[in-house]
Amino acid sequence: MKILVTGAKGFVGKNLIAELRNQNYTDIFEFSRETDQVLLEEYCKEADFVFHLAGVNRPKDQSEFMDGNYGFSSTLLETLKKHKNTCPVMISSSTQAELDNPYGISKKAGEDLFFDYSKETGAKVLVYRLPNVFGKWCRPNYNSAVATFCHNVAHVLPINVNDPSVVMNLVYIDDVVGEFINALKGKENNKGDFCEVPIVHTITLGEIVELIYSFKKSREERAVPNMSEPFTKKLYSTYLSYLPEDQFSYDLKMNVDQRGSFTEFIKTPDRGQVSVNISKPGITKGNHWHHTKNEKFLVVSGKGVIRFRKIDSVKVIEYFVSGEKLEVVDIPTGYTHNIENLGDTDMVTIMWANEYFNPEKPDTYFLEV
């Protein structure tokens, strides 16, 4: 299948083309402002499907709205007609097509052009009125508040929010691309004259800003946002894509003594925390038990033994562990336990606990195994 994508270098175009290639679509005609106009003839002659993503949304002069959003659309359709190519054509419009402003008027004119083209030629036309789209590769300080906020917060630049209570309707780029590829396969989400991206997130500007600042702070707190909330998950992925290239990494606080070290890695509000424990050769750590706190140990390097004793018993249970064979050992409540390094190199253990460490209520009681 030969696919023509106009606006190929734009935010949506780049994401769409990347995913088309992931799904083994190899014959992709990429058309952008820099493309030789002569190639449009060839592309329109051979295309089996057209994604029309090209448009203007931040012109120097308002007259450019009609030129970019209506004029080029007219050229595209006339070229398809010239070559008698009635392949399906999809156009990305905007919910602003319902508004009486220069941008909205130009988008509505473009829609009408496509509907008329369908009536005249019988070609299948798919019109998507998209709300605000967010995700990786969106240009900041241009026409996306989310992109601007993510970029500026990540780069420690100021942001301006005139009214935090403004409600935003947003769609995530991966959801948009997924729906477009469904349309390519003839499985579009059709709602009358228009098609829709199934997942729309409604949230205020103030809530968006609060989330983005919490992402920045999460590094300091070794926290991970609540990934079970779909919008938070998508916004966090978007925020990370705007990190400065020299700031992908961040330091952790290592608690070091003669026995080795203990470092908290990740904390989550509802799934506990993950830490990294390093024990020197011959060192034993632990010798304590918990009422409710429970843990999982995974030795990833070195070798050792994890010992258990129920607090009212003399019986000692031993589990020998090694980085040569990865296995998780659960630490049940009511058992005092320790871990000893039996090797001649550092032993590295990944430790998960079901709750944050709370110094005011540690639920940790010393008792030799």
Give the active site residues.
Answer: 103
Radius of gyration of the chain from Cα atoms? 29
Residues 6 or more apart whose Cβ sits within 8 Å of residue 264: 222, 252, 253, 273, 274, 275, 357
| Beta pairing partners, 306 | 319, 339
Residues 6 or more apart whose Cβ sits within 8 Å of residue 248: none
Of 69, 53, 136, give the one whose Cα is nearest residue 104. Answer: 69
> Is-contact 70 109, C-beta < 8 A?
yes
Integer Cα distance of 161 and 163 in angstroms: 6
Integer Cα distance of 105 and 98 in angstroms: 8
Of 331, 336, 332, 282, give the one whose Cα is nearest residue 304. Answer: 282
How far is residue 158 from each of residues 132, 209, 213, 336, measured CA to CA in Å?
A: 22, 12, 12, 51
Of 169, 285, 268, 260, give the one whose Cα is nearest residue 224. Answer: 268
- 129: three-class secondary structure by DSSP: strand
Integer Cα distance of 212 and 134 in angstroms: 13
Q: What is the dihedral of CA 191, 192, 193, 197, to 10 degrees?
A: 0
- H/E run at residue 18: helix 11-22
